[in-house]
Structure 1
């Protein structure tokens, strides 16, 4: 094979693969996610309660809306941050609010629990750099 043929083959292969590559969505400067309620250390009677989610310097929008200045909340319950270069899991420890919700009623069993927010882009992937809240601890009585 000639060198010219190999270069054309490499270029064609690269172009065919390139559209499937997904670059992370850049985070707006100074964006900050935070939990409004409950506060760190709160003791909550009963298992059902409201979580209020806050965000500064960017907007909240539903999943599928591709914008570097808006995303949607994911609530992490009793878990660590997931890999920040992959889609955020969706399970009992990773709640997705893909409709753009900023509050949610959740239910947790009695005991100590941790809560943390992580912002996802249109495809549920964390921004770059990632936007996440401080992890808080609450107790459900």
Structure 2
């Protein structure tokens, strides 16, 4: 009888200990959130741009999907040109010429008819309903537009 109880207790204790896979999943999820990033590839920080077009290229470690896709851990790009960030818990608005939704899952955009001057551009990744991912997934560059072709 004693041997039977020991034989049952050993497998049960191993099951109770678990393999740690739940803990691993949580740790991996936390690492994914911590490593989420977006990068403004162009224009480069400190660039001088000649002309009236600003060609923007973005890179992201977050899977970029179309707006409306509510898959956790995904989002789409938004660009702020000389505009203040909106509150973290509110959808990013659309403001022609200064706040752009890239809801088609693209990573490129061109601002047209940009006047000469100093600019700050912020890229933000937001969820399917345009609320910024938390923690923020954001990048900022400054550049100057000069007249010319």
Instruction: For residue 59 of structure 1, give the secondary structure of its aligned residue in structure 2.
Output: coil
Judged with a 3 Å threshold, the aligned counterparts in structure 2 of structure 1 residues 94 and 80 are, in CA distance, closer, same or farther, namely same
Q: Which stretches of structure 1, 4 residues or more, deviate above 2 A after TM superposition?
A: 26-29
Instruction: For residue 135 of structure 2, give the secondary structure of its aligned residue in structure 1.
Output: coil
Aligned to 2:135: 129
- Structure 1 unaligned spans of 5+: 1-25
Report the alpha carbon displacement of residue 28 of structure 1 after superposing the two structures with TM. Answer: 3.1
Alignment root-mean-square deviation, CA? 1.6
Alpha-carbon distance in structure 1 between the residues aligned to 2:64 and 2:122? 17
- Structure 2 unaligned spans of 5+: 1-29
More helix by share: 2
TM norm structure 1: 0.76
How many aligned positions are there? 114
Aligned to 1:51: 56
Larger radius of gyration: 2
Report the alpha carbon displacement of residue 67 of structure 1 after superposing the two structures with TM. Answer: 1.3
The one-character-per-residue Cα deviations of 1:48-81 (angstroms, maximum 9, x if unpaired) are 131001102x211100111122110000110222
Alpha-carbon distance in structure 1 between the residues aligned to 2:37 and 2:53? 26
TM norm structure 2: 0.72
Aligned to 2:123: 117
